Amino acid sequence: MVVTEMEVYAVSGADGKKRHRPWRKCSDFSDEYIKLLTEELAPLRPPNGSDVTNFCLLLIGPISGGKSSFINAVLSAFAGKVIQKVAVGESEQGVTKRFSPYRHVSLRSVGFISKPTLAQEIHSVALVLDASTVSDLSPTIKCMINDCKRLILEKGIQLVVILTKIDKLHKDIADDLADVFKHQVVNAAVEKVSEMLGIPPNNVFPVKNYHSEVETEVAVHTFALMALRKLICMASDVLEERTNDSDDRTAGSGEVKESDTA
């Protein structure tokens, strides 16, 4: 075939934006979906027979990663308004006045509980990382993260990652958060973290916290609630397993050894 002239057109949606298949399925972002999620999560309690009244969810991660902001986003989602109950800020002049980068905790540390009850243990852990910096984490931070991951896995808890500041990955994302699960740049960040930490991509939750906004955003609440749902689900599984395992615990398996500390 001899082609003398050819015109190529980009295929786009009615609004001119390129359409991609979502890399993660999610219901449409809407007030109804948020209502559904909050109504599903609000009544959840630790399993019967566990003797635990509250889920203990731990957020860890580098300073300024967005831990406090994530807690505010969750509180905002339940309150239906922008809440800033936990102080947030960048490091240096940030809200954390005294920051010890790494202090070894040992069995002799003050207040260390060497044989915690199930209620005193952590039931679910999320590592909170700034999506725009995952490519250049320092070796010290990587080492800390790996130490934590080892301890968490030894306790039978799976690691969840909350990937914050996804708005910083690309201008289009900041402009339209509803398209996050179609943006390949977010997918790439999720895959990178999953590979770096050896965890499945569906344990990685991209989020955008409130930063400069004063009005509520449906997408912000949806991201926060999806991540919270995963954490609570995992905590429930851990508690159920430990409750069924209670015979072993009485035999002393719940006791902390020096190698359990970091």
Ligand X SMILES: Nc1nc2c(ncn2[C@@H]2O[C@H](COP(=O)(O)OP(=O)(O)O)[C@@H](O)[C@H]2O)c(=O)[nH]1
Residues that bind ligand X (CB under 6 A): 63-69, 88-90, 128, 164-165, 167-168, 208-209, 211
CB of 224 to Mg ion, least distance (A): 15
CB of residue 40 to ligand X, shortest distance in Å: 24
Torsion of CA 78, 79, 85, 88, to 10 degrees: 70
Choose, by CB under 5 A, the member of 68, 72, 209, 222 that binds Mg ion: 68
Rounded to whole angstroms, the Cα distance separating 59 from 90 reads 17
Q: Which of the choices Mg ion, ligand X, none does residue 178 contact, using the CB cut-off of 5 to 8 A by kind?
A: none
- Nearer to ligand X by C-beta: 128 or 238? 128
Q: Give which of 58, 226, 257, 240 is closest to 148, Cα–Cα.
A: 58
Q: How far is the CB of 71 from ligand X (least distance, A)?
A: 8
Of ligand X, Mg ion, none, which one does residue 15 interact with (CB within 5 to 8 Å by kind)?
A: none
Q: Which does 121 bind (CB under 5 to 8 A by kind): ligand X, Mg ion, none?
A: none
CB atoms within 10 A of CB 35: 11
Nearer to ligand X, 120 or 135 (CB): 135
- The least distance separating ligand X from the CB of residue 61, rounded to whole angstroms, comes to 6
Q: Which residue lies nearer to ligand X by CB, 17 or 85?
A: 85
* Binding of Mg ion by 69 (CB under 5 A): no
CB 131, min distance to ligand X, A: 8
Closest alpha carbon to 147 in 63, 58, 261: 261
Query: 20 to 59, contacts with Mg ion by CB under 5 A?
Result: none
Contact window for Mg ion (CB under 5 A) among 37-45, 66-74, 136-144, 248-256: 66-74
User: Residue numbers of the site for Mg ion (CB under 5 A)?
Assistant: 67-68
